[in-house]
Copies of this chain bind each other. A is one copy, B any other.
Amino acid sequence: MSQLPILVVGSVAIDDVETPSGHRPESLGGSANYFSVSASMFAPVRLVGVVGDDFPESHVDALAQRGIDLDGLERVDGKTFRWKGRYASEGADAETLDTQLNVFETFQPKIPEQHKDTPIVFLGNIHPMLQVDVLDQIDAPRFSAADTMNFWIQGEREALKSMIRRLDMLIINETEASLLAEEGNIYDAADVIRGMGPRVLVIKRGAYGAIIFHPEGLFTVPAYPLRKVVDPTGAGDSFAAGFMGSLAEQGAFGFAALKRAAIYGTVMASFACEGFSMDGVISLERSKVEARADQLRQMIAL
């Protein structure tokens, strides 16, 4: 393959998810899991994470069959990270009902020797010190990006800032951006966050799309017009996956490449929302991805 490989570190989880569309216990989830499945449609993916002995072997096989490199997936005694959440209505934020860190509590990412020169790195939403730890273990990548969440912004601000400083790109949502920047206006918030280090900032706005803040200007991508959201869990990771996957496929990281990548991020997020767990993306064909990418490009074509 000519695409550049991507290394992702993040959580691999078993979720219990309730949405207005139904209830899915024992739902495969976690940021690295969602990211790997969607990104592997575009480029080779190397997954770094940890699971317990309760993690279904069938899913490990499914990941391997997609060509995802699992040398960095530790399997240890104990239970896999578990998250239980509920979405009260379509479009609502998740309400966390229960979190059991289990084997994730003592997780120390170890980058396999042969993966230390991976040119593209995505740090999924985990403790910012672990994200820093990953950056310490790898050679200077050509492009690095990360996600985070309110929990770390509120509780681990300094660690988070030391991580953000080293990124090429931060991908967060609008609420997180305001919280991180302590600025209500999204454009002011973007200035503050870019002042923290990353050259590029992507702010996700859910059903309203996303904005790329780049030294050369702004780019806005609309959300894909979805009639129904079955389960938004993993939408953010799938967005990052389509985005980073497209960059890896393009082998380019300039403003034009980032714009094209934002289209694919949006498409992958839309598919992720249409099913519980990985249902929307696990057996997705590339032709369907391209059809939605075309639709999105039409939606902004003057």
Contacts and interface: CB of A to CB of B under 8 A. Distances in A.
Interface of A: 90, 184-188, 205, 207-209, 211, 217-220, 222, 225-228, 256, 259-260, 263, 297-302
Contact of A222 (B220, B227, B256, B259): B220
**Identical subunits present:** 2
9 contacts: A90-B184, A90-B185, A208-B209, A211-B222, A217-B298, A217-B299, A220-B222, A220-B300, A259-B302
Contact of A297 (B227, B298, B299, B302): B302
The 3 closest A-B pairs by CB, nearest first: A220-B222, A208-B208, A300-B300
A259 B227 CA distance: 23
Nearest to A89: B184
Contacts of A186: 207
A218 to B, nearest CB: 5
A188 B132 CA distance: 44
A253 to B, nearest CB: 16
Given A187-B227, A260-B302, A302-B260, A209 B217 contact: no
B185 A219 contact: no
Contacts of A260: 302
A187 B225 contact: yes
Contacts of A225: 187, 218
A292 to B, nearest CB: 13
Nearest to A207: B186
Nearest to A260: B302
